[in-house]
Amino acid sequence: MTDKSIQVILGDITKCKADAVVNAANTTLLGGLGVDGAIHRAAGMGLFWECLRLGGCKIGQARITGGHRLPAEFIIHTPGPKWKGGRRGEVLLLESCYRSSLALAEEHGCRSVAFPSISTGSYHFPLDQAAEIAVRAISEFLQCSRYVKEVRMVCFDPVAERAYREALKKRNSKEEQVHGRCIRKA
């Protein structure tokens, strides 16, 4: 994993120069509020027409389009789950958003991928839990990816930034412990 990284940054994902940026879409894929609206506004009507041809997407799955007017080459659209108390499969669905998006990025040979904080805005997924799920899904994926090397979590506000940094710190110390145990066993 030495040539791979997860970064947490504060910023606007529509300005991100990654090979692929991920959109926290809704199931119509035709644009909406929050980051979805920002991506559609910045990318322009070409994105709308391309999304219209896709015919929607289920929660937890992902679809890919061109980047249109964004600096990114691709946009990966994934509808996240709405938080309904945690007993409606929300955790597995959110994990699946990250995995499905990364699988599409890998299929298209992307080296760098930028994610927003999926489901934690108008879908009300608890931020700390969402951050932990995101970091776990991304770091597991990076252990086996061939093309994807750099994943950025692009946070729009300092509260989200802090949550993702904390989740990353926890994950790194857990990985060090596992690695340490492996070394001692060997």
Active site residues: 36
Pick from 93, 118, 148, 151 the residue near ligand ADP by CB under 6 A. Answer: 118
Binder among 98, 121, 131, 153 for ligand ADP (CB under 6 A): 121
Three-class secondary structure assignment of 33-67:
CHHHHHHHHHHCHHHHHHHHHHCCCCCCCCEEEEC
How many other CB atoms are found less than 10 A from the CB of residue 178? 9
Q: Does 12 bind ligand ADP (CB under 6 A)?
A: yes
Q: How many residues bind ligand ADP (CB under 6 A)?
A: 22
Take residue 49 and report the two structure tokens written for it: 């027409």
Encoded tokens for 36: 């979805």
Bridge partners of residue 7, in order along the sequence: 152
Between CA 115 and CA 154 the distance in angstroms is 6
24 near ligand ADP (CB under 6 A): yes
57: number of CA atoms within 13 Å, CB side? 28
Query: Judged by CB under 6 A, does residue 119 bind ligand ADP?
Result: yes
Residue among 147 and 166 whose Cβ is closer to ligand ADP: 166
Residue 156 near residue 116 (C-beta atoms within 8 A): yes
Q: Is 116 an interacting residue with respect to ligand ADP (CB under 6 A)?
A: yes
SS3 of residue 149 by DSSP? coil
* Stretch of 57-65, 121-129, 138-146, 173-181 lying at the interface with ligand ADP (CB under 6 A): 121-129
Single residue of 117, 134, 145, 163 touching ligand ADP by CB under 6 A = 117
- Residue 36 within binding range of ligand ADP, rule CB under 6 A: yes
Rule CB under 6 A: is residue 47 a binding residue for ligand ADP?
no
Question: According to the binding rule CB under 6 A, does residue 98 interact with ligand ADP?
Answer: no
Residues of the shown chain interacting with ligand ADP in the complex, contacts defined by CB under 6 A: 12-14, 24, 33-36, 38, 80, 116-123, 154, 156-157, 160
